[in-house]
Amino acid sequence: MGGPSTIPEVHDFLSRLFHDHDLIPLPFQSVLAPVIAKRRTPQIEKQYTDIGGGSPILKWTKIQGEEMCKLLDELNPETAPHKPYVAFRYAKPLTEDCLEEMQKDGVTRAIAFTQYPQYSCSTTGSSLNELFRLARKDGYGDKGSVEWSVLDRWPTNEGLVEAFAHNVKTALQQYPEERRKDVVIMFSAHSLPLEIVNRGDPYTAEVAATVHAVMTKLNFSNPYRLTWQSKVGPKAWQGPQTASAIEGFAKIGKKDICLVPIAFTSDHIETLYELDIEVQEEAEKLGVHLTRASSLNDSPIFIRAIADLVSNHLKDFQQGKIGPTGQQLLLRCPGCTNPKCGKTKEWLSTGGVGLAA
């Protein structure tokens, strides 16, 4: 999604977010979105002020991409040099900024590599829809001008799982040894409206797959649960909500809890404000000893993981073992209501050559 790097960028970020029907389906969206964005801007500006004056997500994404490409140049010298480009959905650099930079650089081969390890139509799907829309509108990136392939999900990638497990083990060291094995590991992921979940969106299942893989890596050392955060608006969203779950555990005497942001690959407002400030304050009132596993950020384990993932993708694509997309991306949700999805998937399946007449 990206995040505003400075306070003056907050309103435009919120406006783009609430206008995106793929993420937040609203009735009369073009009318309601500007109203909601304007109303929420002062509150969200304060939250970004409290975490240092802006989101660090661009900083971390650039570091991850640059370090990944250094490794890729060694792992895949035949396709070097490699360069990372950032395309955020709601904050600069936007997809159009990314494509403009790529065009200036003369890029003719690109991998659309999602930084959401778990796929959702509302996140990765929305970003891919935007890529297709702009490529078709502006010409660059369409009709074979760029040969595209897609890394659309990687929820149980071995390196990703290892990076999460390492950070969980480190966080658990903050508890006395005699209490450590009883600490509840609470995996927290960004929630989704239930109407999206019930259409058959794969996100909740893929998040659960990541959680299970991490716990397998940890030999199921602790009790654990998957909870959900960042609900917006009055509609029903996937639950239980993280804050409510902590309150529930406190009532039954489980007051040692380690939070793990399992669907994010770097720090941003959902970790630094929602978890570290809001949820932490509530936990303290309940007498809960709440810790949080560090986000992946510049973890060398994580950076090696994404380098290996892209390296293998490049080699398999070159050798004809895989096509531009995986089979899972091409399967639309059984209750899909968005005609854009089908056209985007068809376009990506051609590697950006174009749609059949």
Q: What are phi and psi of 188, to 5 degrees?
A: -115, 130
Burial of 221 (0-12, 13-18, 19+ CB in 10 A): middle
Q: Which residues lie across from 228 on neighbouring strands?
A: 189, 241
Residue pLDDT, tens place only, 304-329: 999 999 999 999 999 999 999 999 99
> Does the structure show a pLDDT above 50 at 216?
yes
Separation between Cα atoms, residue 213 and residue 33, nearest integer Å: 38
Amino acid at 224: Y
Which uninterrupted H or E stretch holds 290? strand 289-292
Separation between Cα atoms, residue 50 and residue 108, nearest integer Å: 42
Catalytically annotated residues: 1, 17, 23, 89-90, 190, 267, 270, 274
What the block records as the tokens of 201 is: 């969106």
Q: What are phi and psi of 96, to 5 degrees?
A: -65, -35
∠283-280-190 over CA atoms, to 5°? 105
| Distance (Å) of CA 191 to CA 227, 239, 319 | 8, 7, 38
CA 227 to chain centre: 16
Task: Please give the pLDDT value at position 356.
Answer: 55
Q: 15 with 33: CB under 8 angstroms? A: yes
Q: Are strands 184-190 and 256-261 parallel, antiparallel or unpaired?
A: parallel
First-to-final CA distance of the chain? 33
Cβ contacts of 22 within 8 Å, gap of 6 or more = 121, 122, 125, 126, 129, 338, 340
Separation between Cα atoms, residue 204 and residue 19, nearest integer Å: 23
> Does the structure show a pLDDT above 80 at 357?
no
Separation between Cα atoms, residue 190 and residue 188, nearest integer Å: 7
**Nearest C-alpha neighbor of 185 from the set 203, 167, 199:** 167
| Mean pLDDT of the 3-20 span | 95
Residue pLDDT, tens place only, 126-173: 999 999 999 999 999 999 999 999 999 999 999 999 999 999 999 999
Q: Reduced to 3 DSSP states, what percent helix, strand and coil does the chain have, rounded to the nearest 5?
A: 50, 10, 40
Residue pLDDT, tens place only, 31-82: 999 999 999 999 999 999 999 999 999 999 999 999 999 999 999 999 999 9
| Mean pLDDT of the 15-26 span | 86
Residue pLDDT, tens place only, 273-313: 999 999 999 999 999 999 999 999 999 999 999 999 999 99
Residue pLDDT, tens place only, 239-250: 999 999 999 999
Rounded percentage of the chain residues whose pLDDT exceeds 90? 95
Cβ contacts of 26 within 8 Å, gap of 6 or more = 18, 32, 33, 36
> What three-state secondary structure class fits 105?
helix
> Does the structure show a pLDDT above 90 at 26?
no
> What three-state secondary structure class fits 177?
helix
Separation between Cα atoms, residue 132 and residue 275, nearest integer Å: 34
The 10 Å Cβ neighbour count of residue 39 is 10
How much is the CA Rg of the chain, to the nearest whole Å? 20
Separation between Cα atoms, residue 170 and residue 78, nearest integer Å: 38
